[in-house]
Amino acid sequence: MTIFSKIINGEIPCYKIAENEEFFAFLDINPVNWGHTLVVPKRETDYIFDIADDELARMMIFAKRVAKALRETIPCRKIGVTVLGLEVPHAHIHLVPLKNEGDMNFSKKISDPDPEKMKQIAEAVRANMEEV
């Protein structure tokens, strides 16, 4: 079982943003910028482009809902979208609030983010989430 499946199952805590029967969204524990969120399918697949077409389409629509709430919550210009998957073998989309290009620099993460700030961000984004 991947670390993300353990988060989805509640075995490992997270700052949850949203969930439906197929997908789960939570704050990245080492954000590149405040509000950095991961969108993960509950069904484990390592490589995102191995996901079936219809599931991948629904995953992007779920990510769209999360991005809307992020954009309404975190002061930013747009929500950037990245797929890496080099660390955790469970497909996921990174959503990152951007003011400029440098806000999407995965070599410069916020180390040891304040838990209280993470909690407040997650609560604020959840309050702006529509039905998923």
Write out the residues near ligand 5GP by the rule CB under 6 A.
Answer: 3, 7, 12, 14, 26-30, 38, 84-88
DSSP state of 130: -
**Amino acid identity, position 7:** I
Q: Can you spell out the DSSP letters for 58-113?
A: HHHHHHHHHHHHHHHHS--SEEEEE---SS-SS--EEEEEESSGGGG-TTS--SS-
Q: Which residues contact 120 (CB under 8 A, 6 or more apart)?
A: none
Query: In the complex, what is the shortest distance from the CB of residue 68 to ligand 5GP, in angstroms, rounded to a whole number?
Result: 21
Query: In the complex, what is the shortest distance from the CB of residue 8 to ligand 5GP, in angstroms, rounded to a whole number?
Result: 11
Query: In the complex, what is the shortest distance from the CB of residue 117 to ligand 5GP, in angstroms, rounded to a whole number?
Result: 14
Q: Closer CB to ligand 5GP, residue 24 or residue 62? A: 24
Query: In the complex, what is the shortest distance from the CB of residue 32 to ligand 5GP, in angstroms, rounded to a whole number?
Result: 7
- From the list 28, 102, 106, the residue with the least C-alpha distance to 66 is 28
Q: Closer CB to ligand 5GP, residue 36 or residue 65? A: 36
